[in-house]
Amino acid sequence: MEQEELYKRPEEDLFDLPDLEFEDKSYTRICCPSCNHKAKADDLSIQDKVAKCSNCHVVFSFKKALQSIDSVPQKIKQEILNPEGIELFSYRDDLEISFKEPFSGMEWLVSSVAFFPAFILFLNSMKYGFSFTSIAVLSVIGVIGAIFSYFRFKQLVYLTINDNNLDIHRRPKLLHHRKSYATGDIDQIYIKHKPDMALWKIMMIINKGKGQEHLELTAVNSISKAKYLEQEIERHLNIQDVHVPEEDG
């Protein structure tokens, strides 16, 4: 029975009717204009809207093919205003974002490992008495711990984006190294919540050869900061925000 005929049945049967199915216009298939071969995902450059046919090796633009998607009404996404603790600086085509990052699990582990011997030494000294060696060791550990904690609380994350790279580094550097990613390889930014430590991770999907890799970019201690960072990074990279299966919410 056709769907239109089903909906002509009496009102008492309406609750048993199946939902009407409508054609989804929010997607399109990219085909080579030369040989009509369907382009694979690996052959497409979404940012440049250029593809290379794996069948006849013709390079072509598929910008017009995406106009039908752009014309589909999209859900209005709420603008996230700049939360306290995040600074933005934009110059020409470069963007710099600075903010504080909460302690990571690795940093807590390093701190625990460093202070555990000191705690054992302190208990042993309380029982058998303090010697010059024990006092010196406790003093050194205490000073190192205090210096590390001071600079760690002063540390800022600097995330810079230009035409070629997305760089992330920290000042002071401490246990972290500068990392750089090609902006052309970045496919999507999304948020992943870590409730056990009250952290929101900023995740990044990188195109790596034949597949994609999910990398943790940074982490913050509030959902508003996480959504703001996601918003500004995607805006500067001209990435359309889409839902990722691994994303929270």
pLDDT per residue as tens digits for the range 54-112:
888 888 888 777 766 555 455 555 677 888 999 999 888 899 999 999 877 666 666 66
Could you tell me where the DSSP H helices lie in the chain?
A: 3-6, 67-70, 105-128, 132-154, 223-236
Q: Please name the amino acid found at residue 142.
A: G
Do 43 and 51 form a contact (C-beta atoms < 8 A)?
yes
Instruction: Answer with the residue of higher pLDDT: 191 or 30.
Output: 191
User: What is the overall mean pLDDT for the chain?
Assistant: 78
Ranges 97-111, 153-167, 168-182: which has the least confidence: 97-111
Do 196 and 217 form a contact (C-beta atoms < 8 A)?
no
Instruction: Answer with the residue of higher pLDDT: 14 or 116.
Output: 116
pLDDT per residue as tens digits for the range 35-44:
888 888 778 8
User: CA-CA distance, 69 to 244, in Å (whole number)?
Assistant: 18
Sheet holding 44-45, edge to edge: 44-45, 50-52, 59-61
pLDDT per residue as tens digits for the range 10-23:
444 444 444 444 44
Average pLDDT in the 160-184 region? 91
Instruction: Answer with the residue of higher pLDDT: 189 or 2.
Output: 189
**pLDDT tier at 129 (50, 70, 90 boundaries)?**
confident
> In the predicted model, is pLDDT for residue 142 greater than 90?
no
State pTM to two decimals: 0.59
Q: What is the pLDDT of residue 197?
A: 75
- For 86-101+158-236, give the CATH class: mainly beta
Q: Is the dihedral of CA 21, 23, 29, 34 positive or negative?
A: positive
What torsion, rounded to 10 degrees, do the Cα atoms 73, 76, 82, 88 define?
-10
Nearest to 107 by CA among 175, 153, 199, 156: 175
* Count of CA atoms in the C-beta half-sphere (13 A) of 49: 9
User: CA-CA distance, 4 to 197, in Å (whole number)?
Assistant: 53
